Structure 1
Amino acid sequence: MGNNGNNKKLTLIALILMIFTSVFGFNNIPRSFYLMGYAAIPWYIISGILFFIPYAFMMAEYGAAFKKETGGIYSWMEKSVGIKYAFITTFMWYASYIIWMVNISSGIWIVLSTAIFGVDLTSKISILGLNSTQSMGVLGVLLMTAFTFFASKGLNKITKVAAVGGIAVTLLNLVLLFGALIVFSLNGFHLAQPIADLHTGFFVSPNPDYLSGMAIVSFLVFAIFAYGGIEVVGGLVDQTENPEKNFPKGVVVAAIIITVGYAIGIFLVGMFTNWNYLINKGGVHIGNFSYVAMENLGYQLGLSFKLSNSTAVLIGRIMSRYMGISIVLSLTGAFFTLLYSPLKQLIEGTPTEMWPEKISKIEDGMPKNAMWCQWFIVIIFILGVSFGGENAAKFFMKLTLMTNVAMTIPYILIAFAFPAFKKKEGLERPYIAFKTEKGTKIATIFTVGTVTFANIATIIEPAFKGNISDTIWMIIGPIFFTILALGIYEKYKRKTEKVLLHKNVKLK
């Protein structure tokens, strides 16, 4: 840290570390390997160049210009485009966390099973004669109910466990690095996932579901999702030493480190994991592959040191348990925070008149009534997806795709508003990344085009294979929340116009 008067400022290295820890997610590495093998690496590079870097600079400009605003995304959009656009964008941002909760409510049971038993046993769960997928949905409803109950009571101190889990998950990166290198070296420098040649090795997925052009392009959504969290840079400009020089350098260096980190991580998984070997074990899907891969790392370490098979299996179970415990702690804290934080920001950051008095009421620092409305929407989605009559593999893939699409849609809306923000007069702009109109247009086209194209490919790709259900569920969420947002806004508009009628003022 450096000093500027009495205020501590972020050095270049501190800025890079801040961006890295906010964006880099360990779980994205094995999941990407599951979908694309080494072929995931080029797509991380492409999305880093076309999306991550320009979008990060956009967020920096927004954050610097509106650093005194407390409404977050709503304030940015409202002052750049208008109230209606701002509310829809903010509501879609909030809705993405609804879908995230749908995913985690069911998926966390895999993590819990792994933490306790060292292996995913969720495929054997049966509640009241229901199959495993339906049972996971019921467990998801129970979890959402319990978490909402305790969070509404103001018992949010449990969020502190996220810090412990976060440290443990961070250490997983070192476990992956050194564990993979040890296995690789002790096995005579032979890759478990071999590379026949450059083309098949890095441009052809071992996953038969990701061989068509549409499916390959749809992987962009996974790569873009892996860069989530870059919103944090919006508030770091004025906290950085010599921002005009250090900030762009920090963003570019962080982007390179994160991209290279993902690329190396995916390659490390291939050092000890043969894709076909793990998949042929049975019961492996995107929801549990991360834990299966880490269990395999422990197992391969044991074999590499010439230990007995039973000892190698034990090391594998210990490794998967460690990851399971780490993720449980991290997700539990994050879940409690996200139950109320986005909802509270949505209610407090938008005009009070948009919400019924009961919904906007804050008790003990919590929007309790709104949280139970949120609970109702989440369980409807959980039950709708889990009782869709599909097996666990398709169920968790559907949840993952729904989450990725929902979480990336706000990126499109925020980036699309950027040219309007640049043309807005009267704003104090202490930091400017794009100094020309041409640069602004190119950055907007790259960002909006990349995310939009990737989402369209992701949404329609299942339909081409005859899996209409996945396509419907990926679009039903955004459509539902868009209609809901428009309904809330129109009601607010009519209410406000009545109040302002005597002034002959019409709301835009």
Structure 2
Amino acid sequence: MNKEKENGYSISFWGFITIIFLTVYAIANSEQVYYQMGYASITYILIAAALFFVPYSFIVAEMSSAFKDRKGGIYSWMAESVSEKFGLVGTLIWYGAFVVMWFSASTICVSLSVALFGKDTTSTWHIFGLSSAQTLAIIGVIYIVIASFLTTRGLKSISFLSNISMLTIIIIHIIIIGGGIILFVKSGFKFAESFDYTKVSSYFYGPNKDYASFLPALSFMVFSIFTFAGMETSCGLVDQVKDAKKNVPKAIIVSTVIITALYILVILILGVVCNWSDTFGKSGVNLANYSVYIYQQEFYRLGTVLGLSQSSSIALGEWVNRIIRILTLIGLTSVPIRIYTPIKHMFEGLPEGMIPKSLQKLNKNNMPANAILFQTCIIVFFIMLLGFGGDSVSALFDKMTLMTFVSGTVPISFIIYAYIKFKLNDNIKKDYEFFSKKGGIIWGSICFAVVTFTNIFSIIEPALNGNLDDTFWVALGPVLFGVLALILYKKYEKSHENIGDLKHSPVNS
């Protein structure tokens, strides 16, 4: 039965666009790609939008509508289209991406430092004779333990805090984009960063020496793909959209245009605000603190065009940085929800016996406390391992960021592969289709090739340059959780006396 009829309401066209926007868009994505690739990042954003975001959005919308009555979310998509084994591996790697994300918990220290001092001083932090990287690891562990403990207290006591987090995001956008527009007008519509339109290379290589040649620039695609990730969450609601056949495709196209245009707008505003070499061409800038330098430069320049003295302009930059970081810290009130959500999606809908029962057990607050504890132990172990691995703070933060981005895009390949099998299986009932069978297979294959090749290359690229250590860490998340899934499935398989009951082949619907 259609949920619209069951619930008595439906999601409007613009309502669905809003859901997509809140799921996919983040201003930090624009800031990060500008830091890494300058204006050239616009080229990669456009490629990712055309060859990934649009087809992937239709892919997950089709699968979500076909399996809307299944409880297991993306696990159901993959298990029904391919097999339970494939579904468990893909889902656990997807879940692992959220766990790997928390390996970078130590980056909270950057926000703490800027909130207190107006600038990033984390490279000088030392406690108990430990190095700065080790010190930050200890603080990151304390942070994740406290957040996990609060998560076990129940949704009722923490869910209202998410509204505070959303408000801080809106305020930060107003400050950054508003300040950039005022600076652009007051400076006579001039860009701080120049662009040579006559050189083809300017469209593919930025000022960052780390991405100034073909192979590293190619590996940058994983970041541009990640900026559009998350549609599998939004499209779980397609069956509740009013007149879905008409409105879902339109909403996806309109959302693509809005999000892509906004990313490009922010990148251009950053070009107004920051001369790349002056802002980032110094030691100590990394993937955890680059935004500190953006805001400092933006509001220092804004102060000067408004007639403030040099010292007052510097102070303005520091205080705006403080305000933004304080808002960021307030926004961390949503962390317990973000810790709990992937656990819920990971364990909900899996067949009985596929994962240990203890991980599904709920405490008196109706929270899976054992699963949260297990997840916290994994995160703490790797935070400590990374922090005490001998890297500098900048190298540590850069490694953590790359791990997060690769881990976050690898599961997408599993979902797209399942979609190709889904289109080939005529026995699976499809409520409605955005692609024809042939078109879906073609677009699915293109999307799969783009995402999979980008991930493989991002993993091996450091090794090609002689940095085996980075390749190991970047590949660790997907490999670790993939192996764990195979172990769990083997145990699940052995626990069944009648192996033929297991779904080694796609399930007919």
What range is the shorter-chain TM-score in? over 0.9
2:507 corresponds in structure 1 to none
CA-based RMSD: 2.1
1:461 corresponds in structure 2 to 461
Supply the distance in 2 between the matched residues of 1:421 and 1:344 (Cα, whole angstroms). 25
Listed one character per residue, the Cα deviations across residues 162-221 of structure 1 (whole Å, up to 9, x for unaligned) are: 322223223433333332222122223221111233435433211000012111111111
Residue 11 of structure 2 aligns with an amino acid whose one-letter code is L
Report which stretch shifted further, 65-74 or 34-43: 65-74
2:397 corresponds in structure 1 to 396
1:295 corresponds in structure 2 to 296
1:96 corresponds in structure 2 to 97
CA offset at residue 416 of structure 1?
Answer: 0.5
2:493 corresponds in structure 1 to 493
Supply the distance in 2 between the matched residues of 1:310 and 1:89 (Cα, whole angstroms). 54
8 Å CA contact 1:243, 1:431 repeated in 2 = no
8 Å CA contact 1:493, 1:507 repeated in 2 = no
Relative to structure 1, is the Cα distance of residues 170 and 152 closer, same or farther in structure 2, using a 3 angstrom cutoff? same
2:72 corresponds in structure 1 to 71
State how 1:18-167 maps to structure 2 within 5 Å. Answer: 18-103=19-104, 105-154=105-154, 157-167=157-167
CA offset at residue 391 of structure 1?
Answer: 1.3
Supply the distance in 1 between the matched residues of 2:302 and 2:241 (Cα, whole angstroms). 43
SS at match of 2:9: strand
State percent identity of aligned pairs. Answer: 35
Residue 229 of structure 1 aligns with an amino acid whose one-letter code is G
2:366 corresponds in structure 1 to 365
1:254 corresponds in structure 2 to 255
Supply the distance in 1 between the matched residues of 2:194 and 2:503 (Cα, whole angstroms). 63
CA offset at residue 449 of structure 1?
Answer: 0.9
2:425 corresponds in structure 1 to 424
1:175 corresponds in structure 2 to 175
Listed one character per residue, the Cα deviations across residues 370-412 of structure 1 (whole Å, up to 9, x for unaligned) are: 2222122112211222222111221111001000010111100
2:435 corresponds in structure 1 to 434
CA offset at residue 40 of structure 1?
Answer: 0.3
Relative to structure 1, is the Cα distance of residues 5 and 95 closer, same or farther in structure 2, using a 3 angstrom cutoff? closer
Matched, 1:277 2:278: yes
Listed one character per residue, the Cα deviations across residues 52-107 of structure 1 (whole Å, up to 9, x for unaligned) are: 0011001111111111222111111111111111111111111111101112x111
Matched, 1:226 2:211: no
Relative to structure 1, is the Cα distance of residues 280 and 47 closer, same or farther in structure 2, using a 3 angstrom cutoff? closer
Relative to structure 1, is the Cα distance of residues 506 and 125 closer, same or farther in structure 2, using a 3 angstrom cutoff? closer
1:7 corresponds in structure 2 to 8
Residue 188 of structure 1 aligns with an amino acid whose one-letter code is G
CA offset at residue 443 of structure 1?
Answer: 1.3
Supply the distance in 2 between the matched residues of 1:13 and 1:155 (Cα, whole angstroms). 28
Supply the distance in 2 between the matched residues of 1:341 and 1:434 (Cα, whole angstroms). 31
Supply the distance in 1 between the matched residues of 2:501 and 2:202 (Cα, whole angstroms). 64
8 Å CA contact 2:84, 2:502 repeated in 1 = no
8 Å CA contact 1:110, 1:120 repeated in 2 = yes
Relative to structure 1, is the Cα distance of residues 267 and 353 closer, same or farther in structure 2, using a 3 angstrom cutoff? same
CA offset at residue 356 of structure 1?
Answer: 2.7
CA offset at residue 154 of structure 1?
Answer: 2.9
1:214 corresponds in structure 2 to 215
Relative to structure 1, is the Cα distance of residues 505 and 133 closer, same or farther in structure 2, using a 3 angstrom cutoff? closer
Supply the distance in 2 between the matched residues of 1:34 and 1:25 (Cα, whole angstroms). 15
Count of matched residue positions in the alignment of Structure 1 and Structure 2: 499
Relative to structure 1, is the Cα distance of residues 292 and 161 closer, same or farther in structure 2, using a 3 angstrom cutoff? farther
Report which stretch shifted further, 139-148 or 47-56: 139-148
Q: Unmatched 5+ residue regions in structure 1?
A: none
Supply the distance in 1 between the matched residues of 2:477 and 2:158 (Cα, whole angstroms). 29
Relative to structure 1, is the Cα distance of residues 121 and 54 closer, same or farther in structure 2, using a 3 angstrom cutoff? same
Relative to structure 1, is the Cα distance of residues 156 and 318 closer, same or farther in structure 2, using a 3 angstrom cutoff? farther
Supply the distance in 2 between the matched residues of 1:15 and 1:301 (Cα, whole angstroms). 37
8 Å CA contact 2:76, 2:87 repeated in 1 = yes
Supply the distance in 2 between the matched residues of 1:280 and 1:204 (Cα, whole angstroms). 16
8 Å CA contact 1:154, 1:365 repeated in 2 = yes
CA offset at residue 5 of structure 1?
Answer: 10
8 Å CA contact 1:340, 1:371 repeated in 2 = yes
State how 1:323-402 maps to structure 2 within 5 Å. Answer: 323-333=324-334, 335-363=335-363, 364-402=365-403
Residue 382 of structure 1 aligns with an amino acid whose one-letter code is I
Residue 89 of structure 1 aligns with an amino acid whose one-letter code is G
Relative to structure 1, is the Cα distance of residues 233 and 356 closer, same or farther in structure 2, using a 3 angstrom cutoff? closer
